[in-house]
Amino acid sequence: MTLLLRARRVLSEQGWLEDHQLRIEGETLVAIEPVPAGVTARDADLLCPAYIDIHVHGGNGVDVMDDAPGVLDKLALHKAREGVGGWLPTTVTAPQAEIDNALRRIAQRVRNGGPGATVLGSYLEGPYFTPQNKGAHPPELFQALRICELDRLIDVSQNTLRVVALAPEKPAALDAIKHLKSRNIRVMLGHSAATYEQTLSAFEAGADGLVHCFNGMTGLHHRHPGIAGAGLTDKRAWLELIADGHHVHPAVMSLGCTCAGPRIILITDAMRAAGMPDGQYDICGYAVTMQNGVVRTSGGGLAGSTLALDAAVRNLVNTVGIAPEDAIQMASLHPAKMLGLENTLGSLAPGKRANIIALNNRLQLQNTWVSGRAVPL
């Protein structure tokens, strides 16, 4: 069955195309072509690649760590309603049995599929961190890096584990990075007090980038650039960015985009309060409070975000002055490249999966299609 979607502008790999249409057969985009002469109806102002959120803890009142039926389906629908076509459910530092069970649930969802945004695998955030920049993670549950344990987690995930986050200054970190890369798993560095030199050594070993850059790490200093400085200046590093204006000041977002625009990956780091009213919630086993959309621990620290990925794109455009096409790629093509999925996802091109969003001229979401099927918004 063929689906035609027409727009005033289509964002292709070559840039914006005026008055073009997408021809979709089944789950695949098969052609991008000019709208035939005389056809005046348009389905959207803008048709763009669906977003990919690689770092998601929760939303709509549920958490990836919740051991309850339907949690990942509910989250997948929630993500699709913010323009996300694919995502990585992300674990937190917790008792080992809880992490194992979460990885098993994610693996089952990857195998079986379901409504909403596609689950692309899992992202292990913790327990391989150091206490100095722990964020909301409970340091008493941090663990040493052991190759046999990493292999066990990969087995538990049934080879659906896609990303492991760790602190590069931990003993055996470089060996762990090399081993994970040999297993085709991406490694992100964070919740760390690593020096500039330690971080460069981790990139040399194969690490892929930084977890929510600037957050959960020592701040940039002109004599001690640290982990953030290494990420900003090393062209091998992908940089996750929470562009909500709370986690990172707009001026620092601008700095990051100026230094590393082609390497920025917009993420939400969203937790269960995303899309919910202000009130009391929890993350990593701690009680947290959301006020005016900002979630904090009892000590005042930030605890995840309530950001939607489509809002992150708008924030970069409206607050930082990033071109719309560049901000959209930071939420689509860049994460696809980091995961090694750019041949099938992340942009609109013939032969790729038909994960598409319709936006108005203010970059507000109008419709989402995942594998060629419209998701009810």
Do 2-47+362-375 and 51-345 have matching folds?
A: no
Supply the residues annotated as catalytic. 269
Classify domain 51-345 at the CATH topology level: TIM Barrel (3.20.20)
Question: H helices of 184-308, where?
Answer: 196-205, 226-233, 250-260
What is the per-residue pLDDT across 187-234, written as a single tens digit (0 to 9) for each? 999 999 999 999 999 999 999 999 999 999 999 999 999 999 999 999
pTM reported for the whole predicted model: 0.97
Which two three-digit tokens encode residue 292? 């005016």
Instruction: Give residue 242's pLDDT.
Output: 98
Residue ranges per domain, the chain?
2-47+362-375, 51-345
- What is the mean predicted confidence (pLDDT) over 113-130? 98
Question: pLDDT at residue 284 above 90?
Answer: no
With both helix axes pointing from N to C terminus, report the angle between 96-112 and 147-156 in degrees, rounded to the nearest 10: 40
- What is the mean predicted confidence (pLDDT) over 120-144? 96
Question: H helices of 304-377, where?
Answer: 309-315, 324-330, 333-339
Alpha carbons 67 and 185: distance in angstroms, whole number: 25
29-34: long-range pairs with CB below 8 Å, 24+: 29/348, 29/349, 29/350, 29/351, 29/352, 29/353, 29/354, 29/356, 29/372, 30/350, 30/351, 31/350, 32/348, 32/349, 32/350
- What is the mean predicted confidence (pLDDT) over 157-168? 98
When pLDDT is cut at 50, 70 and 90, the band that residue 177 belongs to is very high
Instruction: Give residue 304's pLDDT.
Output: 86
Domain 2-47+362-375 architecture: Roll (2.30)
When pLDDT is cut at 50, 70 and 90, the band that residue 324 belongs to is very high
